[in-house]
Amino acid sequence: MKPIAIVPSANNLGEGPLWNDHDGKLWWTDIHARRLHRHHLATGVTETIETPERLCSYAFLPEKGSRILAAFETGLAYFDTGTKAVEWIVRPETEGSGRRFNDGRTDKQGRFWVGTMVEDEAKAGATRGSLFRFDGALTEQAGGITISNSLCCSPDGRTLYFSDTPSKVIHAYDLDPDSGTISNKRVFAEVTEGYPDGAVIDEEGCLWSARWGAGEVVRHAPDGKVISRLAVPAGQASCPAFGGPDRKTLFVTSAREGLDAAALARDPEAGNLFAYQVEVAGLPVVPFGG
């Protein structure tokens, strides 16, 4: 399948795509460049917003407005994309800790799940990354993590998916919809090609996993079996998201991170955003707080 559109964004580390029903645009972040992008597929116009810290993931808020819940590199804040005002909520990572926040996504009840990652082994030392739940308070749910990724939830909100990318395994947890507690960690899928990066769920309960280093998005059935593979014209595919009025456009971000001139010559689309028309719809994006 070929993309219906390629947005030439040349991101260093494109991540966190989310469809915004309020403005009809696909949002995503270039983490290392400290930029938040918003693209209107019909017009081809992309807006770019500078961010005060690296924006690693985020969630929309219920009200129509310019504020988002932002997982910056050092912590969580409300960020006004219009005025650039930052209201810090919690900031557990200090500059120089060797760790930063990474992948994040809301569950069906509007709780924000977000993980941290080790970015500098020498500075981080023995302290690894964590998986957190934020529902007004930030609470650690799991530890010992190198790179948090693949956060998404089943359509009924009772299963949470997560991966520690270097392990090449996507795990599933039972998620209590009322309390937000997770239990019964188990292997959902083992990855043989590339590394599991961002992931998203469709209406049929299937998980679409971007494979960093393999240049593809893999669709897994609810039991973890591979159903199909979608080739992406960039080796470092980073995260998928459903969007469009019918949620049948699959967007995929990618990255140029770590590629030298020779590698970029072999991978000229690296860092761009890709859009595909697919047959199954994705789930609606849930705002923080429900």
Among residues 156, 197, 223, 267, the one annotated as catalytic is 197
Q: CA angle, 41 as apex, 206 and 115 as ends, to 5°?
A: 45
- Element housing 252 (H / E): strand 249-254
Name the residue with tokens 């948090």: 148
Q: In this structure, what is the dihedral angle of CA atoms 261, 4, 61, 69, given to the nearest 10 degrees?
A: -10
Cα 79 from Cα 77, distance rounded (Å): 6
Q: How many C-beta atoms lie closer than 10 Å to residue 92's C-beta? A: 15
**197 among known catalytic residues:** yes
> Cα-atom radius of gyration of the chain, to the nearest Å?
17
Separation CA 61–CA 69 (nearest Å): 7
CA 278 from chain center: how many Å? 19
Residues 250 and 1 sit within 8 Å (Cβ to Cβ) = no
Catalytic residues: 197
